[in-house]
Amino acid sequence: MILFVEYVVEERHRSAYLEWVRREPERWRGTELMESTSQPGVMVELRRVADAEEAARIEKERREGRSGWQAMEPWIKGGREGLRIWTFAPVAGGFSGTNQTEAYS
């Protein structure tokens, strides 16, 4: 399973956000943190989770701003409400091929 977190860091706060990210490497362990190349400031975090319970625990922690996550809320467009979080599970059969159109034909 993957926990997917998406938010927009406002341009005026981008430097502060990036500095915070760099100061807190432990916070990002096991997380792929990426920024959109076509929409600067749109950030996504991808984190593998063992199960739905772990995903729910992490989501709750993020939404409630616990464990220091509240520090980033002022930089996110819309504040805490601008944080979007989804959990994704593998498609039945575990399809992971490179030509996905074959899986849906």
Q: Is residue 98 part of a domain?
A: no
CATH number at residue 29: 3.30.70.100
Q: What tens-digit pLDDT sequence spans the chain (105 residues)?
A: 999 999 999 999 999 999 999 998 998 999 999 999 999 999 999 999 999 999 999 999 988 888 888 899 999 999 989 999 999 999 876 666 555 444 444
The domain in which residue 82 lies consists of 2-90
CB 34, CB 43: distance < 8 Å: yes
Residue 30 in any domain: the answer is: yes
Q: How many Å apart are CA 87 and CA 56, to the nearest integer?
A: 9
Residue 51 in domain? yes
Domain presence at residue 99: no
Q: How many domains does the chain have?
A: 1
Which pTM value belongs to this model? 0.82
Rounded distance between C-alpha atoms, residue 30 and residue 35, angstroms: 17
The reply to whether 103 falls in a domain is no
